[in-house]
Amino acid sequence: MLALGALLVLQACQPATEQTRIGREQYIDIYVEILRAADAAPDSLAASDSARAILARRGVSEEDLLDFARHYAEDPEYLANVWLEIETRLRNPEQQDSVRAR
């Protein structure tokens, strides 16, 4: 019984290892594409339509994006780094293309 209790405590202390349906790079790529499309859209309705089309083309749902954010909610530093990468790619589109070419 004591061994079982120790095992459960150790398991609870381990970081979550379950993965989200989408990974970091895919999340960043999608958000960059959505934000660029929104910037080019004439209004918020067109921006929403563009975002839905991007998600559908990539086979990703809004829920997938939310799951990614929820999964890393306990690690704000990680999410801050994700958003710094998104901002960097938005400012330097040629840098993003060179990263994809590798």
For residue 17, tell me if it sits in a domain. Answer: no
> What is the C-alpha to C-alpha distance for residues 86 and 81, in angstroms, rounded to an integer?
9
Whole-model pTM: value is 0.73
Dist. CA 39–CA 47, nearest whole Å? 8
Per the domain annotation, does 6 fall within a domain?
no
Write the Ramachandran bin of 20: left for phi over 0, alpha for psi from -120 to 50, otherwise beta. beta
Q: What is the pLDDT along the chain (102 residues), one digit of tens a residue?
A: 444 343 344 344 444 445 889 999 999 999 999 999 999 999 999 999 999 999 999 999 999 999 999 999 999 999 999 999 999 999 997 755 545 544
Distances (CA, A) of 28 to 12, 25, 49: 30, 5, 19
Q: Is residue 70 part of a domain?
A: yes
- The sign one gets for the Cα dihedral 100, 35, 20, 16 is positive
Parent domain of 90: 22-101
**Domain total of the chain:** 1
Q: Are 35 and 90 in contact (CB under 8 A)?
A: yes
- In this structure, which amino acid lies at residue 99? V
Q: What is the rounded distance in angstroms from the CA atom of residue 35 to the CA atom of residue 49?
A: 12
Whether residue 3 lies inside any domain: the answer is: no
